[in-house]
Structure 1
Amino acid sequence: MVVIPFETIPTPSIQLSCLIFPFPLQFFSMDDLPPSLVVDILSRLTDSADVARCRVASKTLNSLTREVRSLNLLCTLSRYLKSRSPETKDHVTPFKAIFNNLVGQAPCLNSISIGVDKSLRNISYDDVDDESDDLYLTDVGFVKEWLPKVCGDLGKLSISDFWIQSCWRKSQILSLISSCCNGLMELEVKNAWLSVDGLNPMTRLTSLTLEFIRLEDEDLNKVNECFPSLQVLNLVGVGGLKDPKIHLLHLKSCLWTVSNAPLSLTIFAPNLVKLRLKCIKPKSLVLDTPLLSDFHLSVEEASDFRVKEFHNLGNLHLESSSLCCLLGMFPSGKSVRKLTVNSLKWTATIKFRLEAVFDVFPNATYLNIGPGAWCEAENCFRKGGLEDRNALKELREIVANLVVYDIEVTLSFIFSILDKCTKLSDMALLFHPKGDYKLARSLIPRCTAYCPRVKWRWGMREGPKDTWVSVGM
């Protein structure tokens, strides 16, 4: 391990000493480290404001900061509040000035990320001067000051704007980027109103992320035209679209979340492999993606759902308020082996029978049943039992997200599944916080006693992560 003395560095946030080496603990001055290693460390700093501080820490650092390849600068909520406070604002260096200085001192950059912290989203319009532009980061005038200096080697660019200052200003930044950055491969823009006027083709761009962006249908058509080599496309909360179409021949991965409705969504992507699509109530959904193998679809209602048959689809995740209707809109899903289903509305009035899943996906060997879908399926079981289907016998693994209200009904449902799924070898019970935890835990010994051949796990859903416990083989 190398431990570098930091007495001369005026901030504790620089963590160069965390680098691990396969030789005994020693102390070095910065001059003892290979220059290439120092440059690599400086390029990995998560806050490039530390790079500026390093310049006054040592002569070696001062000279090597010009060789850093990556710049990451984020305006935090703390910094923002200090810049607005009458007591401290005169002592805070403008954010844009810090960034311009860093860019000017590092001509070899191949990656730039500038933005505001997510916590600034909670800033109220009433607290902001509408004419202010100190954090308007997609301002073409500001970007013109620094982009031409580094565009030659730039391969990745990320700009996350301050929505309060950017939402009412239409930015021409895409035109500027496309005219300067011929070698750019990854582009990410967040929280802005973008114009595509003057957008030039960028044939080397393979990854594009637009998050909380204001666009129009013709703008998206221009994106299809000018970014023909895209392999990764992420559209998150892009507003202003009415009948958007994605037409990209080389696209392999796509994340698309649509918040407004109703819409007609069309994706033509003959090489698309992975698609995560979330929408509300589209008028129609047209997918021409013959190579799709991993598909996550979340939709409240789909009145017109059309797809060509997915011959390569192996992993499918379906969420809907009308799950049965959505299942009926799929063509034969014989290729699907891994399946997740869930209902977005927990209601006893909607009839979702577990057997319906296997009418469409008869060869699934893994099934994850979300809490909404389990609740509806259990209600149907209570009224009519579980029908005997040959397809059920193909299942090897089940993950059941349970909300236990009546333990005897839940047990009867689980036992019926076990009787039908003769090849089942692994079953996990994940208890939802809405249910009775003590009651739910009492399921475990009865399940393991009923079917000891199955490997059992149980867990609790706690926030975004689940806690699992293995209880038997």
Structure 2
Amino acid sequence: MEDLPPLLVVEILSRLTDSADLARCRLVSKTLNSLSHEVRSVNLLCTLSRYLKSRSPETKAHVTPFKAIFNNLVRQARCLNSITIGVDKSLRDISYDDVDDESDDLYLTDVGFVKEWLPKVCGDLRKLSILDFLIQSCWRKSEVLSLISSCCNGLMELELKNAWLSVDRLKPMTGVTNLKLEFIKLEDEDLTKLNDCFPSLRVLNLVGVGGLKDPKIHLLHLESCLWTVSNAPLSLTIFAPNLVKLRLKCIKPKSLVLDTPLLSDLHLSVEEAYNFRAKEFCNLENLQLESSSLHSLLGMFPSSKSIKTLTVDSLRWTEALETSKFGLEALFDVFPNVMSLNLGPGAWSEAESCFWKRGLEDRNAMKELKEIVAHLVVYDIEVTLSFIYSILDKCPNLSDMALLHPKEDSGAANSLISRCTTYRPRVKWRWGTWKEGSKDT
């Protein structure tokens, strides 16, 4: 490797997915040691194996502290533009009972630790990820955001995970366009400060951010947002006039307000929405809805003629079949121009239950439908077949239908295949299986 051109060696070293290998390369030769200081990225994660060795009485004396390895990697770096430091996902299974609460060897958002290295490398830094060890960080409030905002004037992407963050003395970071916060503890006023200090955000991911009661996102340039709300806020508001893609998962907000006129791709998962308000979605083309109360949610959803691809599912369908009010007609009343429809197992079961009670009413909008993917749950094969036949009769332009059955229900599937192809041979039939929590096959 030493015979390769220096620029190529630096390129190879910069592409190492685990910078622990970079530390090992420095020990091989003086040439590699020298060139390693030219790398543009450092990516160092503490593995479960290293963690366990650092705790074992037999091996801990021979394990170099994780923070020391990282400091050594970045201390003499000349042009770092990307840094990732954190703990591996495998450490998520570590129990609080297995850890000394006073330990801070993996407390990575510790301001004292970050001060040791960030001011030395911040000049060229464009991307920074700190993935903390939740057991050591969740009870310590960190002001690392203030430090980052003071040092990193050229930062464009910031990711922080598993921490309790303070926004005290946080300065505006107008260059940051991509912000990811995962399993972070904040408060409503903290989120307001983030709105003010990250005005240029185009991508925002908030996953499991707790402590919020009435959270509001107000970002004028935001284009893509993933927001998974871990608690049950009283209200939830998004004002983002340029938002194009939104994936939102929450529990039972008392109020849900979306002011996102340019939205074209929406995935909304909500147990119940007591007061859902949204302006008309004139550009929405792809919609995924998951709810414990689909009928109620559809009743509050603004009618949209632009939606072509629709996916729906029920979150608690096994408990609600007897009282289900969700029928396919409701979908076409709200989304009359749907061309491709994907029904999850919960939505299919509820719709089939409604069909069995009152049949399937004719709707002109159903004539636009060309494709259906149905995740079947067969309780009575004759009822399921009657429902399928009725859909075929009410949707004359339907040309493609995929019937996916549970893997353990192959007997009913064989009968369905034969009878459906006989009933409507001109339809392109597709068959497969589904299993909860996995992709269709």
User: Fold-level match, TM-score > 0.5?
Assistant: yes
User: Hey, what's the Cα distance between the residues in 1 that align with 2:78 and 2:254?
Assistant: 50
Give the secondary structure class of the aligned counterpart of 1:363.
coil
- Corresponding residue to 1:215 among 157, 162, 186: 186
Corresponding position of 2:148? 177
User: Hey, what's the Cα distance between the residues in 1 that align with 2:73 and 2:420?
Assistant: 62
- Corresponding residue to 1:426 among 400, 406, 417: 400
Residues 464 and 105 (structure 1), Cα distance of their counterparts in 2 relative to 1, 3 Å cut: farther
Contact 1:405 1:436 in 2 (8 A): no
Aligned residues with identical type, % of pairs: 80
| Alpha-carbon shift at residue 45 of structure 1 (Å) | 1.1
Residues 37 and 462 (structure 1), Cα distance of their counterparts in 2 relative to 1, 3 Å cut: farther
Listed as ranges, the matches of 1:102-141 within 5 Å are: 102-141=73-112
Q: Which amino acid aligns with 2:160?
A: V
- Corresponding residue to 1:442 among 402, 410, 415: 415
Corresponding position of 1:369? 343
Corresponding position of 2:386? 412
| Alpha-carbon shift at residue 34 of structure 1 (Å) | 2.8
1:162 corresponds to 2:133: yes
Give the secondary structure class of the aligned counterpart of 1:67.
coil
Q: Which amino acid aligns with 1:375?
A: S
Give the secondary structure class of the aligned counterpart of 1:113.
strand
Corresponding position of 1:399? 373
Contact 2:212 2:233 in 1 (8 A): no
| Alpha-carbon shift at residue 263 of structure 1 (Å) | 2.1
Q: Which amino acid aligns with 1:441?
A: N
- Corresponding residue to 1:317 among 283, 288, 291: 288
Residues 306 and 440 (structure 1), Cα distance of their counterparts in 2 relative to 1, 3 Å cut: same
Contact 1:188 1:209 in 2 (8 A): yes
Deviations 1:214-246 (A, max 9, x none): 000000000000000000000001011010110
Deviations 1:274-322 (A, max 9, x none): 0011011101011111101100000111111111101000011111111
Q: Which amino acid aligns with 2:439?
A: D
Corresponding position of 2:158? 187
User: Hey, what's the Cα distance between the residues in 1 that align with 2:274 and 2:144?
Assistant: 38
| Alpha-carbon shift at residue 112 of structure 1 (Å) | 0.4
Corresponding position of 2:266? 295
TM-score by length of 1: 0.91
Corresponding position of 1:471? none
Deviations 1:361-418 (A, max 9, x none): 0000010001001001111111221111111110111110111121111111111111
| Alpha-carbon shift at residue 466 of structure 1 (Å) | 3.0
User: Hey, what's the Cα distance between the residues in 1 that align with 2:59 and 2:383?
Assistant: 64
Listed as ranges, the matches of 1:9-20 within 5 Å are: none
Give the secondary structure class of the aligned counterpart of 2:37.
helix
Contact 2:327 2:354 in 1 (8 A): yes
Contact 2:215 2:233 in 1 (8 A): no
Contact 2:324 2:353 in 1 (8 A): no
User: Hey, what's the Cα distance between the residues in 1 that align with 2:438 and 2:210?
Assistant: 30
Corresponding position of 2:325? 351
- Gap runs ≥5 in structure 2: none
TM-score by length of 2: 0.97
Give the secondary structure class of the aligned counterpart of 1:339.
strand
Give the secondary structure class of the aligned counterpart of 1:134.
coil
| Alpha-carbon shift at residue 261 of structure 1 (Å) | 1.3
Contact 1:399 1:428 in 2 (8 A): yes
Please, which moves more after superposition, 393-402 or 113-122? Answer: 113-122
| Alpha-carbon shift at residue 463 of structure 1 (Å) | 6.0
Q: How many residues align?
A: 438
1:451 corresponds to 2:424: yes
Contact 2:126 2:155 in 1 (8 A): yes
Q: Which amino acid aligns with 1:75?
A: C
Corresponding position of 1:267? 238
Q: Which amino acid aligns with 2:189?
A: E
| Alpha-carbon shift at residue 35 of structure 1 (Å) | 2.4
User: Hey, what's the Cα distance between the residues in 2 that align with 1:155 and 1:388?
Assistant: 57
User: Hey, what's the Cα distance between the residues in 2 that align with 1:275 and 1:246?
Assistant: 12
User: Hey, what's the Cα distance between the residues in 1 that align with 2:333 and 2:64?
Assistant: 64
Corresponding position of 2:229? 258
Give the secondary structure class of the aligned counterpart of 1:364.
coil
| Alpha-carbon shift at residue 464 of structure 1 (Å) | 4.8
1:52 corresponds to 2:19: no
1:143 corresponds to 2:114: yes
Deviations 1:85-113 (A, max 9, x none): 00010011000000000001322110000
Q: Which amino acid aligns with 1:437?
A: S
User: Hey, what's the Cα distance between the residues in 2 that align with 1:39 and 1:443?
Assistant: 60
| Alpha-carbon shift at residue 122 of structure 1 (Å) | 1.6
Listed as ranges, the matches of 1:34-113 within 5 Å are: 34-113=5-84
Q: Which amino acid aligns with 1:188?
A: E
| Alpha-carbon shift at residue 467 of structure 1 (Å) | 4.5
RMSD of the alignment, in Å?
A: 1.2
User: Hey, what's the Cα distance between the residues in 2 that align with 1:302 and 1:406?
Assistant: 32
